[in-house]
Amino acid sequence: MKKLRYMFTSVLLSVLLVCCSFTLITQKKKKFIQISKKMKIAMIIAKDGFRDEEYFQPKDVFVKTNFEVDTYSSSTGTAKGMLGATVKVEKTIDQLKVDEYDAVIFVGGMGSAEYWDNPLAHKIAQETIKQNKLLAAICIAPVTLAKAGVLKGKNATVFPSEAGQLKKYGANYTAKDVEVDGKIVTASGPSAAKQFAETIKNLLLTK
């Protein structure tokens, strides 16, 4: 009887050990998958007149961090920067699915005003917030976010000439180079492009 009890106890301990080991391996595997998952960023630029540094500097930071970057505009073809750079655009904003990305960024430049009153751009901004993704805009592009209604009651910054627009739509204009309020990042212009990118990168890596 004692021998049977001993055997039963040994078998039970072995089963428990196997179960615990399996659970530990599964947890480690899940953690590895989460860590190794590549972040995806959608960058929206104007077809004509995006600000070169505000696109290329952040994109360079993201690519070096092993983030995947997709570029969208209002139409396909060659997008032209204010300083002469060009970008081949293969995706339009009507194709952008927010649930496929970790962050959506509106790049500035004079041409980005094309999105200020664009219902589709507004919907993208609203959906990004609704899905608890990171939403960012630089230079005059934060005006698009303001008009979409997602900056109401939020701390935000913008190119100084458009500060009144942010205030008009309920944002708390801070005049900082880069401002963060929850999952929303805004920046004042090309001189803040690198800091803007680093801020977004750090938020994504620590989420």
| Residues 67-93 pLDDT 10s | 999 999 999 999 999 999 999 999 999
| Residues 40-66 pLDDT 10s | 999 999 999 999 999 999 999 999 999
CATH no. for 39-205: 3.40.50.880
Distance CA 185, CA 129 (A): 12
What does pTM read for this prediction?
0.83
Burial tier of 110 (Cβ tally within 10 Å: 0-12, 13-18, 19+): middle
Per-residue pLDDT of the chain (207 residues; tens, 9 = 90+): 555 455 544 544 454 444 444 444 445 444 433 445 789 999 999 999 999 999 999 999 999 999 999 999 999 999 999 999 999 999 999 999 999 999 999 999 999 999 999 999 999 999 999 999 999 999 999 999 999 999 999 999 999 999 999 999 999 999 999 999 999 999 999 999 999 999 999 999 997
Domain range list for the chain: 1-37, 39-205
151-158 long-range CB contacts below 8 Å, 24 or more apart?
Answer: 151/184, 151/186, 154/181, 154/182, 154/184, 155/179, 155/180, 155/181, 156/181, 156/184, 156/186, 157/186, 157/187, 157/188, 158/186, 158/188
Given this model, what pLDDT does residue 36 score?
A: 52
